[in-house]
C-alpha cells in the first residue's frame, strides 16, 4: 500500500456491530494488514434499538483504532467535527454498516472519500455512492441500469455467525428473550415466567435461561417480575419472581412455585450471547433484531407479540420510530402505530420477512401462557419439527463469505485511490 488510508465505518445498533461490523473489520485486517497504514474508525449513529454499550462493544474489537459514540454523531454529520477532534487522512473509504444510507453520502463528500454501502433491503443514492455490496440479487436487479455496474451481490453478513450455529441441541434448554427495553421487559419478563411455569408442570426436566445484556442489572430485571413494582404481572399470567444469588456468584430467577430460570450475563465484548443461544433447543422471543440473530444461528424459535400492552413495541424505523419514542406522548403514538401495524399480522420475525413465508411461528394477540406453553411443548416433544425449522433457517442464512467479499470491494476502492 503506497500511502496511509483511513477507513470510516458508520454503524448504529448492537446487532449490526456484532453481525456486520465485527466480521468486516476482521476481514479488512486480513486483506489490508495490521499496521498503521490502514486506520479503522467507527462512528455510531442513534438507533431506537441501541443499548448504550455500542461504543464499548466497538472498542472491544482489536481491529478498530478509534470509536465515537452515538450521542456525538449529529455534530459530526452537520459540521464534520468529532468530539475528540480527529484528524483525517487525505484518502479513505466510508463503509455503511447500519443507520441511514444518506449518512455516507454527506460524510463521504465532506471527507472526499470513496463510499461503500452494504444494502440488506434496498440500495439508495445510486448517483452519489461509489459501490454497493448487496445481500441478494433482487436488490441488485432493482438498481437503475446506469448504476448497475456499482453493485455486487455479496450475500448475507449475518451468515458469518454460522460458526456458532447449533447442531441439534438436546431438548432440555429453552432460551427466554424478553427484550432489553423497559416497555418490553414489563410484559416479557412476567409472561415468559408464566410460560416457563406451564412448561415445567408437564416437562420438569426442562431448563430455562435468560441471556442478560450487560446494560441490565439483575435487581432491575427481577423487579419486572414483582407485582408490587410491575402492575402488568397480573395481566401476563400472574406469576411473581424473585432474584436468588448463590455463594458462588451464580444467579437465577425463581417463580412463586419454585421454577428456576438461569441468568447468564455475557461481557460487552461477547454480546450478543451467541454461545448461550446456540445451546438452546428452542427460544421464546419478542419481535426485533433477536429474531434475525436466532435465525442466523439456526435456533428454532417461537415469536411472541402479546397485545395486552400495545405501547411496548417502539423499535420502528423512520418517522414512526421518532413518534413512538417522543417523551410524554410516545406511548399514545405507540398504541396507534402498533394497532395499525398489527392489522396486517404475520411476517413480523426477520426470518419470515426474508423468506416471505412463515418459517418460525408468530403468535400475536391477547396471548395466554398455557396456549404458548402447549405449542412449545409440542416442539420440545417432537425433535423432527425443530429439525425442519432449523433446516429452513440454515437454507435462508446462506453460505458465509459476505464479509470477505465486502472487504475485497473496499480493497478495490483503495486501489482506485492509489491508481
Query: d(Cα 111, Cα 417) in Å, to the nearest integer?
Result: 13
- Where in the chain are the domains? 5-155+401-418, 163-397
Q: Nearest 5 degrees, angle CA 243-CA 258-CA 182?
A: 40
What does the pLDDT read at residue 63?
96
CA torsion through residues 16, 191, 187, 218, sign: negative
Q: How far is CA 178 from the centre of its chain?
A: 14
For the chain, the first-to-last Cα distance in angstroms comes to: 11
pLDDT tens for each residue of 256-284: 999 999 999 876 555 567 888 989 999 99
The reply to whether domains 5-155+401-418 and 163-397 share a CATH topology is yes
pTM: 0.76
pLDDT tens for each residue of 109-134: 999 999 999 998 899 999 999 999 99
Q: Quick check: 256 and 275 in contact, CB under 8 A?
A: no
Segments of the chain with pLDDT less than 50: 1, 312, 314-320, 322-324, 329
- Reported residue count of the chain is 419
* Buried/exposed code over 30-56 (b: 16+ C-beta within 10 A; e: otherwise): eebeeeeebbbbbbbbebbbbbebbbb
Query: d(Cα 367, Cα 390) in Å, to the nearest integer?
Result: 25
Class level of CATH domain 5-155+401-418: alpha beta
What does the pLDDT read at residue 397?
74
What does the pLDDT read at residue 318?
45
Q: Which CATH superfamily is domain 163-397 in?
A: Glycogen Phosphorylase B; (3.40.50.2000)
Query: d(Cα 98, Cα 289) in Å, to the nearest integer?
Result: 13
For residue 12, which of 81, 74, 89, 82 has the smallest C-alpha distance?
74
Amino acid at each position: 500500500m503506497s500511502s496511509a488510508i483511513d477507513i470510516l465505518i458508520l454503524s448504529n445498533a448492537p446487532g449490526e456491530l456484532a453481525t456486520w461490523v465485527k466480521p468486516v473489520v476482521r476481514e479488512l485486517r486480513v486483506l489490508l494488514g495490521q499496521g498503521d497504514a490502514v486506520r479503522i474508525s467507527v462512528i455510531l449513529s442513534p438507533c431506537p434499538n441501541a443499548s448504550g454499550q455500542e461504543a464499548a462493544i466497538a472498542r472491544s474489537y482489536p481491529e478498530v483504532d478509534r470509536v465515537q459514540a452515538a450521542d456525538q454523531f449529529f455534530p459530526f454529520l452537520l459540521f464534520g467535527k468529532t468530539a475528540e477532534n480527529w484528524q483525517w487522512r487525505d484518502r479513505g473509504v466510508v463503509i455503511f454498516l447500519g443507520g441511514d444510507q444518506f449518512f455516507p453520502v454527506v460524510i463521504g463528500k465532506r471527507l472526499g472519500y470513496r463510499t461503500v454501502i452494504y444494502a440488506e433491503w434496498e440500495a439508495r443514492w445510486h448517483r452519489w455512492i461509489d459501490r454497493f455490496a448487496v445481500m441478494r440479487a433482487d436488490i441488485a436487479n432493482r438498481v437503475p441500469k446506469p448504476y448497475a455496474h456499482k453493485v455486487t451481490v455479496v450475500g448475507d453478513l449475518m451468515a458469518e455467525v454460522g460458526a456458532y450455529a447449533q447442531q441439534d441441541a438436546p431438548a432440555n434448554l429453552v432460551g427466554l428473550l424478553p427484550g432489553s427495553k423497559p416497555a418490553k421487559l414489563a410484559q416479557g419478563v412476567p409472561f415468559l415466567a408464566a410460560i416457563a411455569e406451564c412448561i415445567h408442570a408437564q416437562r420438569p426436566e426442562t431448563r430455562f435461561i435468560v441471556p442478560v445484556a450487560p446494560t441490565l442489572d439483575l435487581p432491575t430485571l427481577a423487579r419486572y417480575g414483582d407485582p408490587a413494582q410491575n402492575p402488568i404481572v397480573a395481566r401476563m399470567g400472574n406469576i411473581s419472581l424473585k432474584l436468588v444469588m448463590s455463594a458462588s456468584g451464580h444467579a437465577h430467577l425463581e417463580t412463586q412455585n419454585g421454577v428456576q430460570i438461569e441468568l447468564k450475563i455475557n461481557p460487552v465484548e461477547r454480546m450478543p450471547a451467541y454461545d448461550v443461544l446456540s445451546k438452546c433447543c428452542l427460544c421464546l422471543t419478542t419481535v426485533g433484531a433477536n429474531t434475525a440473530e436466532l435465525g442466523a444461528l439456526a435456533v428454532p424459535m417461537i415469536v411472541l407479540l402479546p397485545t395486552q400492552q400495545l405501547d411496548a413495541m417502539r423499535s420502528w424505523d423512520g418517522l414512526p420510530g421518532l413518534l413512538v419514542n417522543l417523551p410524554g406522548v410516545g406511548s399514545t403514538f405507540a398504541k396507534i402505530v402498533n394497532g395499525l401495524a398489527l392489522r396486517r399480522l404475520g411476517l413480523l420475525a426477520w426470518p419470515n420477512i426474508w423468506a416471505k413465508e412463515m418459517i418460525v411461528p408468530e403468535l400475536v394477540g391477547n396471548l395466554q401462557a398455557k396456549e404458548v406453553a402447549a405449542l412449545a411443548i409440542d416442539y420440545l416433544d417432537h425433535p423432527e419439527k425443530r429439525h425442519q425449522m432449523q433446516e429452513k433457517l440454515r437454507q435462508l442464512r446462506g453460505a458465509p463469505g459476505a464479509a470477505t467479499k465486502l472487504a475485497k470491494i473496499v480493497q478495490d476502492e483503495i486501489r482506485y485511490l492509489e491508481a
